[in-house]
Structures are given as C-alpha cells and as structure tokens.
Structure 1
Amino acid sequence: MTQPKLRIRGLKKAFGDKRVLDGIDLDLMPGTGTVVIGGSGTGKSVLIKCILGLVTPDTGIIEIDGEDVLKAPRHRARQLRAQIGMLFQNGALFDSLPVWENVAFGLLAGKKIRRAAARDKAAEVLAQVGLDASVGALSPAELSGGMQKRVALARAIAAEPAIMFFDEPTTGLDPIMGAVIDELIVDCVKRLGSTSLSITHDMASAQRIADRAAMLYEGRVSWSGPAADLLTTADPVVDQFTHGRAQGPIKMALRR
C-alpha cells in the first residue's frame, strides 16, 4: 500500500475552553490534491498552522513521509517542513521588496542561492505563472490583485516543494481570474508532482483544483470523498454547506 505523503491522526487543539480541533484524521496521498472545507471557525486555518509548526497541537500525530514531525528533533522537523510551499490567503507579499525578491525570498533567506542567480530564478518562475520578467522590477503595490496572486503563487513554487498549501487561493478575485489562478495551480502542482492541500469556500474552485475533499465539522472530519461529489453528496452537513442553505444541521454559533 502507498504511504501517505502527509498523515494526520487524532489531532486536537484547544484555546482555553474552546476546542477547535477534536481528533482530526486526514491522509494526503502522493501527487494528489485535497481540499478542506467548513464554516468559519471550524479549524481549517488552525489545522494548517499545526502542520506548519506555527501552532503546537495538544495531542495527535502529523507524519510527513512516515515521520512524525511532532516527535522529531527540531532540526529534523524543520527539514521535513521545508518540503512545504505556501500560498497565503492575501498573498502576504513584502511591500518593501521588489517582486523578484518576493519570489526568491525563501531561497535567499535559506542562503540556497546567490542574488544574481535568484533574479534569474525569479524570472523563470514568473514565466511559469504567466508574468513577464519585467514584472520582477515592480513593487507589489504596482500590481493588480490577480497579478499579486500570481506572484504569491510563483513564490510558493520557487523552491519546487513536494507539498503545497493553498489558503483561499481565489479570495478577492473575479470569477474569470479565479478560474485562471485555479488553472495555474493545477498546472504548477502537476508539473512539480506535488501533493496539495487547499482551503476554500469556493465550491467551483474546490472541484477544479482537488481530487479529494474533506468537510470539517465540530472539530473533526465529518465527511470525505471525491471533490467531484461535493455538490451531489447526500451527507446533510456537506449538502447544507456547499449549497449555502440556512436550514440544516449546521447552526450559527451564538456569542455570549
């Protein structure tokens, strides 16, 4: 049997009295795309932060290539997580740096490349997301929202990561540009042979960029299956969420 590229078991995380993750089980198989859906506050971002090491879970297992990063020595955990590339929700570009330095930031910060070579690499990767090398000299503020998203994608793939995370990749984009970004994501992931994990509320995007889907509800994966089944499954929680129905098992939490 093929070993999952990323395997999560029994992952729990609470903040005070609020338990956000209550036993997440999830497998990402090599070379496949998985999308995680769920309402606001259901733990999607916390899940990614736990995998990235930005948040320490209370208990559970997070394995990359069969090694539990939570039990690995610090240097080994860093090596394992170095396989991950991240496209942040709002791009998270550095306004003080030109586009080419944003794209090559991880390579430069890790001292994996000299500045002249980094500029050439940035131009190469920008071309892969449909941007001319001349864009590298611009500042992020000079770019449209769609171009900023492309630059953020270029930065995420610059180090040719084995695992890719996409956090709301089409947020703030019109439907056409959203479809363009999705196409670029699929192309880049396929070309690199990467395994991807995406978070999105956009069901059209979810079906374009993922093979599998998982629904987070009450701190757990309540449903998983082919992404193509998101709009047709009989699961009442998934059905309510994907069709935006006010009535159903999902209730709006009341603040007290």
Structure 2
Amino acid sequence: MTDAFTPSARTPKIRIRGLHKSFGGKHVLNGIDLDVEEGTSFVVIGGSGSGKSVLLRCILGLIAPDAGTIEIDGVNLLTASRGKREELIGEIGMLFQNAALFDSLPVWENVAFGLLAPETKKHNDKHPRLTRAQARERAGEVLTQVGLDPSVGALYPSELSGGMQKRVGLARAIADRPDILFFDEPTTGLDPIMGAVIDGLIVDCVKKLGSTAIAITHDMASAQRIGDQAAMLYQGRLVWRGAASCLMNSGNAMVDQFTHGRREGPITMELRR
C-alpha cells in the first residue's frame, strides 16, 4: 500500500497539514495531510460526499476549515494578511463542474471575466491592466488554445454545446496564466470522446503554462489521462496515494473496489447505508 502522505524534502507548491472540516455532526475532512509538488498534475478520487469538493473550496478560501494549515509557496493562507491571501488565491484558475458561465455575457467576456476585474488583482508584468479591447484579444487567443475559433467569442453560452461550454470554461481558467489550476469533475456530462478531448486540452494547457494542477473526478479514464499523481479520499482521510497510472491496479483494496466499481469490498457497508 502506498503511503497517503509522504513529506517532501523541498517546499511544495501546495502543502496541507491536519485539515479538518465538519458540518454539524458530520466530519467531512478528518485530518488531511497532502503535498502537491510544483508542476505536478494531481488527481483526487473518492465517492460522493467523501470531501473532494470541500477540500478544493477550503484551498480557495470559500470555506473556512475547523483546524489545520493550507500553504501555497510556503505561506499559510489561514494566517496570512488579507492582501497576501488574495494575491495567492488570485493565482488559481478554476474549471467548474458545469462550466458555470454567465448566461448574460457573451463568450469573450466570460473568458476575460478575471481580466476585466482589476480590483481583484495587483497589476504587474504578469497581470498588466488591460483595456476591454486587449481583454477581448486575449480571450480570442485562449479560445484558439482550447480548439475554438475566436469568432465564438461573440456568441452566448446558450448557443454552445456542452463540450463547447467546457472549452470556454477551460479558456477562462487559463486566461490569466495562473500558477495553479483546479478542475472540478472536468468530464461530467460529456460523452467519452468529448471527455477525452477535454482531458487532452487540459494536459496541453497545464504543460504550456507550467502550472500545478489539482483535479477531482469520478472518471477513472480521465484521472489516468490528466494525472501524474493521484490520491483517494475515504471517510475524510486520504487512504492511498500513488502514480495515477496505477489507479486500476493499486494493490489497495478500497481503491481497487472504487476504480473497478465492485459492489463487494471494504467499503460495502458505506454503500448500503
């Protein structure tokens, strides 16, 4: 069995220690320890309600954990000044499960949304202040990167297929060239071919940016395509960590049951509740 937590000799891009979060009497995260090295694409798997989305929301600052530390580049987000915390979280791009596009905005404004919100960024060489014309040009560039013609920028989300909406969501996530990318169930609602296309785009974008990525998914094919490393959450704990290529033959009974969809195994009682 691969250890769920192996300390790193160098400062990781993301370091989590002793993370706890409960809602009422339900313990969702129960002491998470995790290192994600810079430039790594990391995948978290686990059943519904296992805490995957809560973990991402804690890192993003959308949910306050009950205990523990969350560090980015060695800085604890939970004790950092508001300015520093916003600076670090501002370096995270997010692809939401259902794309989460703004129906009232054309595609190009959806893609450039973060670029047009100057109050959320400290402008520097990496994040210069852009005019609307420059932001629209940048939107066209990233639409091309995800396989869409820049002319799609003039359309509205309701005019796009599900696969095209995912691509637009990915374009928005990478538009500001973030250091960290999060992917929440990136292939949900897509057919297997389009899912593979989106995964390929994710891999290409992450490599081009040199970003550190964390994805949560139920899709084992997707997990193996986009992940370098993987971990499994069960009952609020990381019970396994290893190479994503080993997900289907991990040697861990819980991981094997989950990845192969077996009814019988160590998590049977969980399924029968």
What does residue range 39-58 of structure 1 map to in structure 2 within 5 Å? 39-58=47-66
Matches within 5 A, 1:143-158: 143-158=160-175
Aligned 1:35-184 pairs, distance under 5 A:
35-110=43-118, 112-184=129-201
The one-letter amino acid of 2:72's match is: I
TM-score normalised per structure 2: 0.92
Aligned to 1:24: 32
Residue type at the aligned position of 1:95: D
Runs of 5+ unmatched residues, structure 2? 1-8, 120-128
3-state SS of the aligned residue for 1:231? Answer: helix
Structure 2 SS opposite 1:26: strand
Q: Where does residue 242 of structure 1 map in the other structure?
A: 259
In 1: Cα distance, 2:179 partner to 2:173 partner: 11
Alpha-carbon distance in structure 1 between the residues aligned to 2:61 and 2:39: 22
Deviation at 1:75, TM superposition (A): 1.3
Q: 1:252 offset after TM fit, Å?
A: 3.1
Deviations along 1:44-86, one digit per CA (max 9) or x if unpaired, are 0000000000000000010000000001011111111111000
Alpha-carbon separation, structure 2, partners of 1:233 and 1:160: 34
Q: 1:18 to 1:253 in 2, by over 3 A?
A: farther
Deviation, 1:3, is: 1.7
One-letter amino acid matched to 1:64: I
User: AA paired with 1:106?
Assistant: G
Q: Give the equivalent residue in structure 2 for 1:252.
A: 270
1:14 aligns with 2:31: no
**Structure 1 length-normalised TM:** 0.98
SS at match of 1:8: strand
Give the Å deviation of 1:2.
Answer: 3.0
Q: Distance in 2 between matches of 1:65 and 1:181?
A: 28
Give the equivalent residue in structure 2 for 1:227: 244
Give, in whole Å, the separation in 1 of the partners of 2:213 and 2:44. Answer: 11
What is the aligned-residue identity percentage? 69
Structure 1: runs of 5+ lacking an equivalent: none
